[in-house]
Structure 1
Amino acid sequence: MKKIVVTGGAGLIGLEVCRQLCDMDYTVCLLDQEEQIDRVRLMLPKRLRLYSGSVLDCSSLRQAFKGCEIVIHLAAILGVHRSEKQRLKCIEINIEGTKNVLDCAVMSGMKKIVFASSSEVYGEPFENPITENNITQGKTLYAITKLAGEELCRAYAQFYPIEYTILRYFNCYGPRQTAQFVIPRFIKQVRGDMSPTLYGDGKQIRSYTYVSDTASATVLAAFSEKTNSEVINVGNGDQPISLIDLARLVIKLSGKQGKIVSEILNSFDGADRHESREIYARYCNATKVKKLLNWKPQISLEEGLKNVFNTEKIFDGWANVYDEYDEET
């Protein structure tokens, strides 16, 4: 039976990936920072092997990687605002950390790395839906670090006997996601009888993918030879939606129609990104992942939003100690 390690395994996607792997009876090692593990400890499958540490610490990586055949590398600094405020930390974790993961994977004799990239690498696309052949023109530091991570995977596979798959995630959401992201932020605001706030004109279009669907594509890719050396979009391109309509749907599902209306700010003051770095329309063409993995989203946007509504707690900020200032900005 294969032994697999998941970096960032206590995060939104990582936790669900670990659950699905455990349900398949694989031996699963979870590596994440202690603060993040503590936040979700009660939700972790009991048979998980837990390793506390950072991707910047090779000794932690070597310990967690021992005997593993595959690494699913999800650990990263997330969030546009967060990465722009901590540029050096973002570069260190997303680039140097990825290099450390690859170094330790090679030294451990691993066969494959699944690298979590992002739709941010496409920037503002010339056309939608986006295929994997679209030009990459990321507007943010986060996007640049993800592109660097992709190139590191290619470079190591060129020089060492390790396979890679690059997954470009499109706007994943789900229970226990921090309110730094739009869906939990809207839901948290509406729960508190506040208007969901929309930066800009609210006409920005995205496609949102529920976490169990993102995780299932990730798990399938880890075990498929068809995905070796491939870049694959992972997203629900069947339900693109504007922020205005997303806010209306959240209000409708809350049962507070007529009591709460959206607040369209027509500015980016206080947003997670500057207006010059906003993406106005970006959604996914998932033809490739459907063809290679026989995968398709199982959870509709409405069903997924209901699941997030049923989450007992939505965290305001990040778990990591070096993000304390994010609570104030």
Structure 2
Amino acid sequence: MRNRVDADDSGTFYPFVRLLQAMILVTGGAGFIGGHLAEAFIRDGYDVVTLDNLNSYYDVDIKRRNVECAREAAEEGTGSYELVEGDIRDADLVDDLVDDAEYVFHQAAQAGVRTSVENPRRVNDINVEGTLNVLDAARESPVERIVFASSSSVYGKPTSLPYEEDHPTTPISPYGVSKLAAENYVRVYGDLYDLPTVALRYFTVYGPRMRPNMAISNFVSRCMNDEPPIVYGDGTQTRDFTYADDIVRANTKLLETDAADGEVLNIGSTDNVSIATLAEVIRDEIAPDLDIEYGERQAGDAEHTHADVTKANDVIGYEPTEDIRSGVRKFIGWYQENREWYEPLVRSS
């Protein structure tokens, strides 16, 4: 039997037995992006099942919050919610869940460039083998569409910017390699087995309930505690930071159209910002008198990312709504409201 769990108001998980006929399966659905997708789909009236192993890559308290938000959405609206505690590497469990789903949003992955440098085999096992489990299950079921969460990390070293989807893919971290390999499997399965698949290449996603070890959350935490933000490297490296709500909008479009089937799409903000500028923007919003400090650059970090979203706009009408300044202000507001529980996670990451 599936190990189905829910959470009470205190965030404590407990097992229950209740079968739902799910329309949407979100793998990694208690994580940052998966949690936002699950909540949005439920509020739109869909029945949602999420698969998540609730691992401790980052504090499970954030995943509890994601579960609580999804449950609240189900209580307030017409969609339903179910959390299945399990691992994407469990092929039998994945078969069972995919067989019930009309749409699969495959978000489950071992994230983190630095983590992948430390343990590349684990990243391959989860990100590639786990994806193959989803694809094999989909071959045997009438799935309407599989949407795969890829990453800008597949590009690696830029030959030109912004990245268009046909830019060479030369990842520089095991994480990027794993995402590219999984993305290629998604493409090949789509072609060979007539599976409707879409791959979305996300560009540095941030927003409420984000992983606490990300640069934005660390900069905000340090500034709120009157400590200078620390930039790793010389600060000239750039990122295309994408607000979580824009990621949700792009995914939601794929419930409405088959225009992107078989395609790879960049989902970014088009707003290319240096890490030093990011630190300054956050510093200026919170504690303008602080200096910026610099530390040793981390291995495996990309030099630049910058999304060309022309194709996504043409195919699904995607348009980012938040630039870095408006998005940072929103995140700082959320951080202040949730500081009591969130900040300890950031400080310990």
TM score, norm. by length of structure 2? 0.83
Give the Cα separation in 2 of the matches to 1:191 and 1:63: 46
The Cα RMSD (Å) is 2.0
Q: Quote the residue 2:314 is aligned against.
A: 291
Mind listing any 5+ residue stretches in structure 1 that lack a counterpart?
A: 319-326
Larger deviation: 152-161 or 114-123? 152-161
* Residue of structure 2 aligned with 1:103, choices 127, 133, 136: 136
Question: How far 1:24 moved relative to its partner?
Answer: 1.7
Question: How far 1:219 moved relative to its partner?
Answer: 1.8
Amino acid at match of 1:252: D
Larger deviation: 178-187 or 200-209? 178-187
> Quick check: 1:122 aligned with 2:122?
no
CA shift digits 1:71-98 (9 cap, x unpaired): 1101000011112222221111001000
CA, structure 1 residues 315+65, in 2 after alignment: closer, same or farther (shift >3 Å)? farther
Give the Cα separation in 2 of the matches to 1:177 and 1:133: 29
Question: How far 1:315 moved relative to its partner?
Answer: 6.3
SS of alignment partner, residue 314 of structure 1: helix
Q: Quote the residue 1:251 is aligned against.
A: 283
Question: How far 1:154 moved relative to its partner?
Answer: 1.8
Q: Identical aligned pairs, as a percentage? A: 30
> Quick check: 1:173 aligned with 2:206?
yes
CA shift digits 1:287-320 (9 cap, x unpaired): 11111111211223222212222231436769xx
**Higher relative contact order at CA 8 Å, sep ≥6: structure 1 or structure 2?**
1
Give the Cα separation in 2 of the matches to 1:286 and 1:5: 26
Q: Confirm or deny: 8 A CA contact 2:39 2:69 kept in the other structure.
A: no
TM score, norm. by length of structure 1? 0.88
Q: Quote the residue 1:302 is aligned against.
A: 325
Question: How far 1:221 moved relative to its partner?
Answer: 2.7
* Residue of structure 2 aligned with 1:30, choices 40, 44, 50: 50
* Residue of structure 2 aligned with 1:212, choices 220, 245, 249: 245
SS of alignment partner, residue 51 of structure 1: strand
Q: Confirm or deny: 8 A CA contact 2:99 2:142 kept in the other structure.
A: no
Give the Cα separation in 2 of the matches to 1:222 and 1:124: 33
CA shift digits 1:95-135 (9 cap, x unpaired): 10000111122223213211111000100211111110111
Give the Cα separation in 1 of the matches to 2:197 and 2:345: 32
Amino acid at match of 1:257: P
Mind listing any 5+ residue stretches in structure 2 that lack a counterpart?
A: 1-20, 75-79
Give the Cα separation in 1 of the matches to 2:177 and 2:98: 27
> Quick check: 1:65 aligned with 2:85?
no
Q: Quote the residue 1:190 is aligned against.
A: 223
* Residue of structure 1 aligned with 2:68, choices 29, 42, 48: 42
* Residue of structure 2 aligned with 1:140, choices 165, 170, 173: 173
> Quick check: 1:16 aligned with 2:41?
no
CA, structure 1 residues 242+79, in 2 after alignment: closer, same or farther (shift >3 Å)? same
SS of alignment partner, residue 130 of structure 1: coil
Give the Cα separation in 2 of the matches to 1:97 and 1:292: 28
CA, structure 1 residues 56+316, in 2 after alignment: closer, same or farther (shift >3 Å)? farther
Q: Confirm or deny: 8 A CA contact 1:117 1:168 kept in the other structure.
A: yes
Q: Confirm or deny: 8 A CA contact 1:179 1:316 kept in the other structure.
A: no
* Residue of structure 2 aligned with 1:264, choices 282, 290, 294: 294
Question: How far 1:283 moved relative to its partner?
Answer: 0.6
Q: Quote the residue 2:77 is aligned against.
A: none
CA, structure 1 residues 114+222, in 2 after alignment: closer, same or farther (shift >3 Å)? farther
